Amino acid sequence: MKPFPSQTSVLVVGAGPAGLSAALALSRAGVDAVLIDARERIGHPMRCGEMVFPYYFSVLGLEPRRQWLRWNLPKARMVVLNRPRMEFELSEIIASRGVGVYSGTPLVGLGPFDGKGRCAKVLWKGKKREIYAGCVIAADGTASVTARLAGLDARLPPGRVASCVVQILSGAKPAMEDSYFVQPVAPFYFWVIPNGFGRLNVGLGVMGTEAGRARFLLSRLAAATKAFSGGKVKETFCALMPARRPMAPLVHDGLMVTGNAGRLMDKGGSGILSAALSGRAAAETIIGLNGADPTATALEGYVQRIDPLLKRLEALWDLMETGQAPSPPILGMERGQLPPQYLEIGP
């Protein structure tokens, strides 16, 4: 077993879509980098609907492998990923290209920028280790530990977080074959997504303040929409999504914040592609430094690279906050009065 390194040019914290995308780009350019993840096995367990545009593979710069896909959604022009399998295999590709990959290794401390880099503390095999990194890419997801350790405002109070409850069903029959069902239900989404042969991923995201009722609301919606019939619950899980405008600024001395860590997702719940785009942009910014010190000014190119994404997310937030995006009250749902437009099935 290789020892944990004491220094690196780039430390990527988190091996979800943002961190893997960053590490893939760094590994392709031959940059000395280390990727750490708190989970014992990268990709496991998965808390996601796994639905994404195939453009995701172009962002990663890889051809999709058959085993990375659970389902095709031709009408929506989307695919359902097998994220656990894919993310584990991506970590193997990254490691094979020379990047140090360490699972079961959470970041637990982050020092200030000293002009050249930052000292980070991790737990590796239960022991504290220090690693000096020229630059840190925060890719550790919702309510990022890295961002909080750097003193950034990564708080997600109950009114600023989406609380999701998800059930994986087997033997359920969807109302429409070869399709998916995602409904805007205030203030978040109800979805039914194929999860493989005879399996469905059925979930609801509600405001954190409504978390206690999410499971009840999910069963009401499932019955009211008739999006599927039958099925046995194989697994139930809960997960959080940020429901706050993107973090600003996303760039600091020796630090860039990507993916969910930087709240780069919309309230509708799609974040895989934004995470991968921002992870790659962060890596490209470092590659473009050509050895210059990674000060906030030098890293500003990251924000420019993701400017179209930031503008789109901000525009979506503007629409929602001015009431122009569909946002019917949850109370209507409780009374079983779903407006007809929320009963449409398919894309």
Comparing CB distances to ligand FAD, the nearer of 225 and 298 is 225
265 binds ligand FAD (CB under 6 A): yes
> Could you tell me how many helices (H) and strands (E) the chain has, helices first?
9, 16
Q: What residue number has its CB nearest to ligand FAD? A: 271
Comparing CB distances to ligand FAD, the nearer of 174 and 298 is 174
Q: Nearest CA to 330 among 184, 193, 160?
A: 184
- What minimum distance in Å lies between the beta carbon of 169 and ligand FAD? 15
- What minimum distance in Å lies between the beta carbon of 107 and ligand FAD? 4
Where in 126-155 is the site for ligand FAD (CB under 6 A)? 139-141, 145
Q: Nearest CA to 177 among 321, 87, 71?
A: 71
82 binds ligand FAD (CB under 6 A): no
266 binds ligand FAD (CB under 6 A): no
259 binds ligand FAD (CB under 6 A): yes
**Burial readout 137-173 (b: 16 or more C-beta within 10 A, e: otherwise):** bbbbbbbbbbbbbbebebebeeeebbbbbbbbbbebe
- What minimum distance in Å lies between the beta carbon of 281 and ligand FAD? 13
Q: Which one-letter DSSP state was computed for residue 338?
A: -
Q: Which stretch binds ligand FAD (CB under 6 A): 111-119, 213-221, 253-261, 338-346?
A: 253-261
Question: What's the rounded Cα separation, in Å, for the pair 185 and 269?
Answer: 12
Going by C-beta distance under 8 Å and a sequence separation of 6 or more, which residues neighbour residue 142? 156, 161, 240, 241, 242, 260, 261
Contacts with ligand FAD by CB under 6 A: the residue count is 38
Q: Which stretch binds ligand FAD (CB under 6 A): 12-20, 220-228, 288-296, 301-309?
A: 12-20
Comparing CB distances to ligand FAD, the nearer of 275 and 282 is 275
Which of 269, 282, 302, 306 is in the footprint of ligand FAD by CB under 6 A?
Answer: 269
Cis peptide bond upstream of 294, omega within 30:
no
The CA–CA distances, whole Å, from 282 to 4, 28, 110, 138, 302 equal 24, 14, 19, 10, 5
Residues in the chain: 347
Which of 4, 29, 47, 317 is in the footprint of ligand FAD by CB under 6 A?
Answer: 47
Phi/psi for 222 (5° steps) reads -60, -40
Which of 36, 133, 137, 202 is in the footprint of ligand FAD by CB under 6 A?
Answer: 36
Which of 25, 31, 48, 207 is in the footprint of ligand FAD by CB under 6 A?
Answer: 48
Contact between 265 and 274 under an 8 Å Cβ cutoff? The reply is: yes
254 binds ligand FAD (CB under 6 A): no
Question: What's the rounded Cα separation, in Å, for the pair 322 and 326?
Answer: 11
Where in 194-223 is the site for ligand FAD (CB under 6 A)? 203
Comparing CB distances to ligand FAD, the nearer of 204 and 298 is 204
Per CB under 6 A, residues contacting ligand FAD are 13-19, 36-39, 47-52, 106-107, 139-141, 145, 164, 166, 203, 239, 241, 259-261, 265, 269-273, 275
